[in-house]
Structure 1
């Protein structure tokens, strides 16, 4: 692996005040922009074991773009093991983590990295990460997977198996909610069982000396189709609803599922890609484990033809742009 990671984790242990490059503008600071009503807004909770689960997912995707899934069938011990190996990786000496350093100059997105290494002039974000593909087998490069801690590969492969089942079920329910065949969305994005790309990320947000001035991750929508996330119980995820930033109060045992850009576009705007951000804590380390579901690289971005038929216009026109092009433009902040 190439490159040297300038990590927030290493920086955090030696700071009493936040360096200027991490200080957000006034209008972006979490204390000034978070909704502080008498009762917090609650994102939908969907019990996937109930007969109305599909309808509840569709409602949540339409109104919020996010929901918390309970009774989702992912064993608790698989989640615990995934979290164990992620936590132990970030507890390794810095020189060990550096073995997996990503190389931004190469355009590769996999490996160990930090938001400290952003373009000159950009505000830095208070987080480090580990990022690699977990499915399908043809997209996996185990060179990006750590040898330590013990059991890292087994934990990620086991969790990936559960994610393949869960994300396919969500895609089927959302397809049906559009009046399409259950397999329409997965087939368009992946062209078969092994077409969808699943990427596992571990986000690490260490304690911050001035959390009221910083963000772990700036406001964004996910450029993928779908994201499934589990966190370590430390608050930090916020979503934008009706112009207000709201804390996501995590339900124990739940998985957070959010709609990404590709589903919003595919649905011709009937589902929404949720705008979200991450805040940080003064005393506690927050970690999260999102799995991103991406279409195949050659997928042509656009609404499903049956959703723009007749008098319904297409809200999105990317002029036959592939997902690979779309992704490149988003990452490099180029016009779409």
Structure 2
């Protein structure tokens, strides 16, 4: 997956990449884009990355003809990777459920059918990395994100009041729990605030596989956990949560904090 992703970003010129360009004004768009966000306060560039977003589940959303044909195995690799990441996400949700004394299917049942997106992010070398972030600090909106990265470090997680570097391991899949898992587990599991920092000398590539509920899904704490300690979060329509995330911006966990009781 890393190999085909790198090949698209590094072997094709801009005109070829733009043949797969997405509608950058739409949160639901699929394809290639370049993301540069500017701070309203001081014109500082916050994001510094190119990306390609693939819609992979449900299968009704999957249209490989929208994906690159370079290298020739690109589409087959993405399809196989998608299937394997879905299986892993299901296993993880079952283990989290069991760890809380819940039926193994509890969290997956609460999330419902996965809406899976795979985003390959390419962070070019940045001449002034102190002025940018590859990706600004945020927690993910959905249920669980599975991330792989190359050997160029850049992922940081906010822990105990400071930013901690997640050292890249070539064979590791980084599990990033997202906001809806925190709601469903009634705060027993926390979503992770993370960011990507840029590098002045080397490009960096990562692949994030997001597993989200449908926008029509209502998410609330598991009844079994509410019975023990009372609800800590309000019920939310996932589509409203996504709208808030894109309208107000992520800024850490402020959209999740708005649900706290």
TM-score (norm 2): 0.89
The aligned runs of 1:256-335 (5 Å cut-off) are 256-309=174-227, 312-318=229-235, 321-333=236-248
Q: Which runs of 5+ in 2 are unaligned?
A: 250-254
CA shift for structure 1 position 251: 2.9
The 4+ residue runs of structure 1 with deviation greater than 4 A are 117-123
Q: State the SS of the aligned residue for 2:33.
A: strand
CA shift for structure 1 position 106: 4.3
CA shift for structure 1 position 139: 2.1
Aligned match of 1:196: 114
Aligned match of 1:13: none
The reply on whether 1:178 has 2:96 as its aligned counterpart is: no
- Aligned counterparts of 1:176 and 1:106: Cα–Cα separation in 2: 37
- Aligned counterparts of 2:39 and 2:126: Cα–Cα separation in 1: 22
CA shift for structure 1 position 282: 1.0
CA shift for structure 1 position 243: 0.4
Aligned match of 2:252: none
Aligned residues between the structures: 248
C-alpha contact (below 8 Å) 1:102/1:108 kept by paired residues? no
Task: Label 1:107 to 1:168 Cα distance change in 2 as closer, same or farther (>3 A).
Answer: closer
CA shift for structure 1 position 147: 2.6
What does the per-residue CA deviation read over 1:267-298, in whole Å, with 9 as the maximum and x for residues that have no partner? Answer: 11110101111111111100000101111222
CA shift for structure 1 position 232: 1.0
Q: State the SS of the aligned residue for 1:161.
A: helix
Aligned match of 1:140: 62
Q: Which runs of 5+ in 1 are unaligned?
A: 1-81
- 2:88 is aligned, of 148, 166, 175, to 166
CA shift for structure 1 position 107: 4.4
- Aligned counterparts of 1:249 and 1:200: Cα–Cα separation in 2: 22
Aligned match of 1:112: 32
CA shift for structure 1 position 266: 0.6
CA shift for structure 1 position 143: 4.6
The reply on whether 1:87 has 2:2 as its aligned counterpart is: no
Larger Rg computed on CA atoms? 1
C-alpha contact (below 8 Å) 2:4/2:71 kept by paired residues? yes
Aligned match of 2:138: 220
Q: State the SS of the aligned residue for 1:317.
A: coil
Higher strand share: 2
**C-alpha RMSD of matched pairs (Å):** 1.9
- 2:22 is aligned, of 102, 112, 115, to 102
